[in-house]
Amino acid sequence: MTRIPLIAGNWKMYLTRTEAVALASAVAAATQGLTDREVMIAPPFTALAAVKEAVASSPVKVAAQNVGWEKEGAFTGEVSPPMLLDAGIEMVIIGHSERRHIFGEDNSMINRRLRAALQFALMPILCIGETLAEREAGNTFNVLEEQLTQGLAQITAEQMSNVVVAYEPVWAIGTGKTATDAQAQEVHAFIRELLARSYEKTLADCIRILYGGSVKPENVDSLMARPDIDGVLVGGASLNATTFERIIYFR
């Protein structure tokens, strides 16, 4: 069982193409020759192709922040899996809490996106996470179980080996309020147990589970020291080359 750490930056709705290429080039320069961990960045759609070109000779992987579930068609505002492949993209974030809570995406929609991504060999990062109200009401595990099982409906074991899960508690995103490493570890262990129940323990032991929510240079080391935290999904701190580099080289 080896899980290669994955350090992922979600740039959300930030950066023009010029700014994105400059940041991507800095990340590429910082990761030359890196083999013991993977680095991914997710620029907005408009910058995907340019960023992919900028990191082409580095180990940096480029992800989209969402994906449509059909190959093509009358789906205004959506971008299809083949379109992402055409731009050289290899991964995609699906079910981010901002998609769920601001844009009303539900588990069945998220599942359709996930299945489409896998069908076209894009590696999906499925995001799940509870709100503060859900945590305070003692519903964290129920909510996560529902998001995970519905999000992964019809996903075979073979497909599952290409899925990354990200636990992002909604109350920790962009708030500066990180889950403690103990809180995150507890949830990650729970998620792995659910995966072992739905699939097999050997498979669950190979699946990477990332933590996201106010990850910074100051807390990345203690998060990454936990046994079930296999990487981080970073928002704000991934928009600066120096802070992101420090997170990539967690100790």
Interface residues toward ligand 13P, by CB under 6 A: 10, 96, 168, 173-174, 212-215, 233-237
Rg (CA), the chain: 17
> Smallest distance from the beta carbon of 74 to ligand 13P, in angstroms?
30
Runs of H (alpha helix) within 11-139: 17-30, 48-54, 81-86, 97-101, 107-119, 132-136
By C-beta, is 213 or 231 nearer to ligand 13P?
A: 213
Among all chains, which residue has been given the structure tokens 């992002």?
168
> Smallest distance from the beta carbon of 70 to ligand 13P, in angstroms?
25
> Smallest distance from the beta carbon of 195 to ligand 13P, in angstroms?
20
Strands (DSSP E) along 66-177, which ranges? 91-94, 123-128, 164-167
By C-beta, is 175 or 202 nearer to ligand 13P?
A: 175
The residue from 38, 98, 168, 188 that is catalytic is 168
CA quadruple 130, 149, 43, 250: dihedral sign: positive
Neighbours of 156 (CB within 10 A): 9
> Smallest distance from the beta carbon of 34 to ligand 13P, in angstroms?
21
Q: Is 88 left (phi over 0), alpha (psi -120 to 50) or beta?
A: left
By C-beta, is 173 or 184 nearer to ligand 13P?
A: 173
By C-beta, is 99 or 115 nearer to ligand 13P?
A: 99
Asked if 241 contacts 199 with a C-beta cutoff of 8 angstroms, the reply is no
Q: 168 an active-site residue?
A: yes
CA–CA separation, 126 and 95 (whole Å): 6
The residue from 38, 96, 98, 105 that is catalytic is 96
Q: 72 an active-site residue?
A: no
Active-site positions read 96, 168
